[in-house]
A = this chain, B = another copy of it.
Amino acid sequence: MSQEHLFLAASINGTGWSGRSARWPGTSPRRFADPAHYVEAARIAHRGVLDAVFVSDHPALSPNAHSGPHHVFDPIVLFSAITGAVPDIGFVLTASTTYNSPFNLARRLASLDAFSGGRLIWNAVSSFNPAVAANYGSEPLPPREERYRRAGEFLDVVKQLWASWDLPDELAPDGALWDEAEARPIDHHGEFYDVRGPLNVPVGPQGHPVIAQAGASQHGLDFAARHAELVYAPLPGKEVARDRARLLTERATAYGRDPDGIRLFPGLNLVIADTREEAYRRHEALQGVADEEGLIQAFLTRGFGVTPELPPGVGPDDPLDPAWFPVLTAEGVFGTVGHSLAVTELVASERLTLRQLVRRVDGSHRLIVGTPRDVAEGILDWWDDGLVAGFNLQLPVLPDDLVRFVDEVVPILQAAGATPKSYDGSTVRERLGLPDPRLTTPGTAAVAR
Alpha-carbon distance A39/B134, docked complex (angstroms): 37
Whether A25 sits at the interface, judged by CB under 8 Å, is no
Q: Are B78 and A76 in contact (CB under 8 A)?
A: no
Identify the interface centre among A30, A84, A171, A193: most chain B CB within 10 Å of its CB.
A84
Interfacial chain B residues near A299, Cβ < 8 Å: none
Identify the closest chain B residue to A75 (Cβ): B111
Whether A280 sits at the interface, judged by CB under 8 Å, is no
Q: Are B73 and A33 in contact (CB under 8 A)?
A: no
Q: Are A137 and B195 in contact (CB under 8 A)?
A: yes
Question: Which of A56-84 touch B at CB < 8 Å?
Answer: 58-62, 65-69, 71-74, 76-78, 80-84
Interfacial chain B residues near A169, Cβ < 8 Å: 30
Q: Are B167 and A33 in contact (CB under 8 A)?
A: yes
Q: Are B199 and A114 in contact (CB under 8 A)?
A: no
Whether A287 sits at the interface, judged by CB under 8 Å, is no
Whether A215 sits at the interface, judged by CB under 8 Å, is no
Whether A101 sits at the interface, judged by CB under 8 Å, is yes
Given the interface pairs A101-B99, A196-B134, the reply to whether A77 lies near B74 with Cβ below 8 Å is no
Given the interface pairs A134-B196, A167-B33, the reply to whether A68 lies near B177 with Cβ below 8 Å is yes
Interface string of A107-142 (1 = CB under 8 A from B): 110011011100000000000000100111101000
Whether A303 sits at the interface, judged by CB under 8 Å, is no
Given the interface pairs A59-B107, A60-B200, A111-B73, the reply to whether A65 lies near B99 with Cβ below 8 Å is no
Whether A247 sits at the interface, judged by CB under 8 Å, is no
Given the interface pairs A76-B80, A76-B108, A114-B73, the reply to whether A195 lies near B65 with Cβ below 8 Å is no
Give chain B nearest CB distance to A18 CB in angstroms: 14
Q: Are A136 and B103 in contact (CB under 8 A)?
A: yes
Q: Are B66 and A22 in contact (CB under 8 A)?
A: no
Interfacial chain B residues near A180, Cβ < 8 Å: 65
Interfacial chain B residues near A199, Cβ < 8 Å: 61
Interface string of A341-361 (1 = CB under 8 A from B): 000000000000000000000
Sample 28 A-B pairs with CB under 8 A, ordered by A number: A22-B177, A29-B171, A33-B114, A33-B202, A39-B84, A59-B103, A59-B200, A60-B200, A65-B172, A65-B183, A67-B177, A69-B177, A69-B200, A72-B111, A73-B114, A73-B201, A76-B76, A76-B108, A77-B111, A78-B80, A81-B81, A81-B112, A84-B85, A103-B135, A131-B196, A134-B195, A135-B195, A139-B194
The 10 closest A-B pairs by CB, nearest first: A84-B84, A80-B80, A137-B194, A84-B85, A134-B196, A77-B111, A61-B200, A65-B176, A73-B111, A74-B111
Q: CB within 8 Å of B: which residues of A?
A: 22-23, 29-30, 33, 35, 39, 58-62, 65-69, 71-74, 76-78, 80-86, 99-101, 103-104, 107-108, 111-112, 114-116, 131, 134-137, 139, 165, 167, 169, 171-172, 175-180, 183, 193-202
